[in-house]
Structure 1
Amino acid sequence: MKFCSECASPVELMVPAGDNRPRYVCVNCETIHYQNPKMVIGSIPVWERDGELKILLCKRAIEPRRGFWTLPAGFMENNETTSDAARRETAEEAGANIELGKLFTLLNVARVHQVHMFYLAELKDLNFAPGEESLDVKLFTQQEIPWDDLAFPTITTTLEFFFSDRDRVREGGNYGFHEMDITRPMRLPTADAP
Structure 2
Amino acid sequence: MKFCSVCGHEVSLSIPPGDNRERFVCGSCNTVHYQNPRNVVGTVPVWDDKVLLCRRAIEPRYGYWTLPAGFMEMDETTSEGASRETLEEAGARVEIQSLFSLLNVPHVHQVHIFYLARLLDIDVDPGEESLEVKLFEEHEIPWDEIAFPTVGQTLRFYFADRAAGNFTLHTGDIFRSLRDG
Instruction: Give TM class, smaller chain.
Output: over 0.9
Change (3 A) 1:85 1:185: same
Where do residues 148-167 of structure 1 align in structure 2 (5 Å cutoff)? Answer: 148-167=144-163
How do 1:1-194 and structure 2 match up within 5 A? 1-48=1-48, 53-169=49-165, 174-185=166-177, 187=179
Deviations 1:49-98 (A, max 9, x none): xxxx1110001111111110000000000100011001000000000011
Give the counterpart letter for 1:13 in structure 2: L
Give the SS at the match of 2:179. coil
Query: What's the % identity of the aligned pairs?
Result: 61
- Cα contact 2:107–2:176 (8 A) shared by 1: no
Q: Distance in 2 between matches of 1:85 and 1:135?
A: 21
> What CA deviation, in whole Å up to 9, does each residue of 1:95-117 have, x standing for no partner?
00111110000000011110000
- One-letter code aligned to 1:149: E
The secondary structure found in structure 2 opposite 1:143 is helix
Distance 1:83 1:42 in 2: 8
Classify the secondary structure of the residue corresponding to 2:13.
strand
Report the Cα offset of residue 168 of structure 1.
1.1
CA contact (8 A) 1:12 1:24 kept: yes
* CA distance, structure 1, for counterparts of residue 90 and residue 9 of structure 2: 42
* Partner amino acid, structure 1, of 2:101: T
**Could you say which residue in structure 2 is the equivalent of 1:192?**
none
Q: Hey, what's the Cα distance between the residues in 2 that align with 1:18 and 1:124? A: 50
Report the number of matched residues: 181
Find the aligned partners of 1:17 and 1:186 in 2 and give their Cα distance.
39
Once the two structures are superposed, residues 144-174 of structure 1 have per-residue CA deviations (whole angstroms, 9 ceiling, x without a partner) of 11000000000000000000101111xxxx2
Give the gaps of 5 or more residues in structure 2. Answer: none
- List alignment gaps of at least 5 residues for structure 1: 190-194
TM-score for the superposition, normalised by structure 1: 0.91
